[in-house]
Structure 1
Amino acid sequence: MQQKQFECFYEEYSDAIFKYILMLVGNKETAEDFTQETFYRAYKQFETFKEQASIQTWLRKIARNLVYDHYRRKRIIQFIPFLSQHEQQDTNLLPSEIVEKGEAIVAVYRALSKLKLEYKEVIILRKIEGLSIKETGNLLGWTEVKVKNATARAMQALKKELEEGGELHGEGFRSIIK
């Protein structure tokens, strides 16, 4: 592969890969390091890319493996909310609606942090990142049926966490949990 072509891949996908990693590790510096490591490994292993999935899915899989290795080494599972996707606020909302929506997002991420890693991951990929069932299945190595079932179970678990925390109320929460 030409270096120029790989630079184009980096420019196109590095932000998305960084955000994905940041959502899983919750630390900006670690996410930056893992993003660089993801692209380094991709560059070294590009000949193994079989184009059965998109380049972005392949890069996410490399990133996911790095994160899992990190957790195995550290023997920790943690999650720190990543809110930058939601920081752009709709100017048509009233100030009270903006506050309620912001509180709802924080509550959802707090509840999400209490879920097992498999549930966090499927919610992040499907509901936050917006990947399709097929893309999520490719990335996680799951069948489409397993993705659908895990998403449904994860959303139920998230809803239960929100209810138990007394945080599932108001229109802001219903608009976030669909």
Structure 2
Amino acid sequence: MELTMQQLKQNTFLKEKDKLLGFIRGRVSTLEEAEDILQDVFYQFIAGFETIDSLDRVTSWLYSVARNKIIDRYRRDASRPKRTDFSFSSSSDEDGPLTLQEILPDLDNSPESVLLKEAIWDEITEALSELPKAQREIFIQNEIEERSFRELAEEEGVSINTLLSRKRYAIMSLRKRLQRFYDDVMMDN
């Protein structure tokens, strides 16, 4: 018995829904936000189902769309839990964790904080565009797209240590840039 296209869409999404929600929930602040993103993913799934090359690729397509929606949300309101200020406890420890969360402040949802979040993301975007291509790409692929170093090393034909080094330089550059930005903001207050 052959399934109709509608049944196929429904079965596929129902099968992946809980795992996808868990994936999203682990990357956003609230369950409501995760459910909103899941709804956006579902809408895009329904609208773009015909563009998916093969049924074997549906799951990876759903996760790619979810990842893109999460990134869009970060860019819009930078709602991920963050540090409380720009004083980087590990800035002198170059072997410390190298994550985006490490270099972003923790802000509430006041109007001033929302504007500051937008300014911070603008600053990060500009700083990333100024990085050498190799550093920018590894930072985005690992930190924002959440791809593993192993996967990237195999894909690019370089060692994991090379990628770690590139990301380390990117983080150090972003730290310096955001520290200058923070100092400028604090001097205005």
The normalised TM-score by structure 1 is 0.48
The normalised TM-score by structure 2 is 0.46
Q: Mark the structure with the bigger radius of gyration.
A: 2
Answer 1 or 2: higher relative contact order, Cα 8 Å, separation at least 6. Answer: 1
